[in-house]
């Protein structure tokens, strides 16, 4: 896959710890295209961290900013975008994703997500395993709804997942 073959942006969705950011980065290196992490982009744009935004504006405030950012990113050049785990919660975002590019759902279990996330303090919504399980369960239909392709990440390295993604693009 070369740059010219990537006609539309590719969005990675899935729960925290699914590997969205690492996979997008790896694939960007392989394909020679740019990757953007939505939360990093959002933090630069807002001049503060995700957890500070949650503390100051609450989840609703964060979600409103997230929608603005998603809208901005769907209007950019073809690129690989790793989305925040909760991006699928708003129907408006799901429509933006569906219309904005190719969406890849990286599937992960709560246990594996927990073992991959080293610093949970940066994730205001990752509290404990049972809550994570319930959250993943609740979001499943939403991830499925927007996904053009689903990739199970269980027990796979970033490199293996990136190659699988390459195969479905
Ligand atoms: C969230 C996931 C985080 C971040 C915020 C909320 C969620 O992104 O957007 O903490 O609701 O699942 P990552 O999936 O990149 O950790």
| Residues of the chain scoring pLDDT < 50 | 3-4
Closest CA to 109 of 149, 63, 156, 50: 156
Strand order in the sheet with 35-37: 35-37, 80-82, 10-13, 102-107, 149-152
- Residue of the CA atom closest to atom 3 of ligand 1: 84
What is the C-alpha separation between 147 and 103, in angstroms, rounded? 5
Going from the Cα of 9 to the center of ligand 1, the distance in angstroms, rounded, reads 20
Residue-level length of the chain = 169
- Residue of the CA atom closest to atom 10 of ligand 1: 123
pLDDT at 1: 52
Number of domains in the chain: 1
What is the C-alpha separation between 78 and 101, in angstroms, rounded? 9
Over residues 120-168, the pLDDT tens digits come to 778 878 878 888 899 999 999 999 999 999 999 999 999 999 999 999 9
The response to whether residue 39 sits with its C-beta less than 6 Å from ligand 1 reads yes
Domain ranges, residue 143: 3-168
Sequence-distant contacts of 57-63: CB under 8 A, at least 24 apart = 59/125, 63/89, 63/90
Domain at 140, CATH number: 3.40.50.300
pTM as predicted? 0.94
The response to whether residue 125 sits with its C-beta less than 6 Å from ligand 1 reads yes
Closest CA to 67 of 92, 45, 39, 102: 92
The response to whether residue 80 sits with its C-beta less than 6 Å from ligand 1 reads no
The response to whether residue 124 sits with its C-beta less than 6 Å from ligand 1 reads yes
Going from the Cα of 85 to the center of ligand 1, the distance in angstroms, rounded, reads 4
Neighbours of 144 (CB within 10 A): 12
Of 11, 13, 86, 117, the one to substitute when testing ligand 1's pocket (max ligand atoms within 8 A of C-beta) is 86
Residue 142 token pair? 């939403």
123 known member of a binding site: yes
pLDDT at 4: 46
What is the C-alpha separation between 141 and 163, in angstroms, rounded? 25
The response to whether residue 19 sits with its C-beta less than 6 Å from ligand 1 reads no
């Amino acid at each position: 896959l070369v740059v010219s073959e990537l006609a539309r942006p590719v969005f990675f969705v899935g729960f925290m710890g699914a590997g969205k950011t690492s996979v997008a980065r790896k694939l960007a290196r392989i394909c020679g295209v740019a990757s953007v992490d939505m939360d990093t982009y959002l933090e630069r744009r807002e001049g503060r961290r995700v957890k500070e935004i949650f503390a100051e504006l609450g989840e609703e405030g964060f979600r409103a900013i997230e929608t603005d950012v998603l809208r901005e990113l769907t209007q950019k050049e073809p690129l690989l975008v790793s989305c925040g785990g909760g991006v699928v919660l708003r129907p408006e975002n799901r429509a933006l994703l569906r219309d904005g590019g190719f969406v890849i759902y990286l599937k992960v279990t709560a246990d594996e997500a927990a073992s991959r996330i080293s610093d949970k303090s940066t994730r205001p919504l990752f509290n404990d395993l049972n809550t994570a399980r319930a959250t993943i369960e609740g979001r499943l239909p939403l991830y499925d709804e927007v996904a053009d392709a689903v990739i199970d990440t269980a027990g796979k390295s970033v490199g293996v997942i990136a190659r699988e993604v390459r195969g479905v693009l």
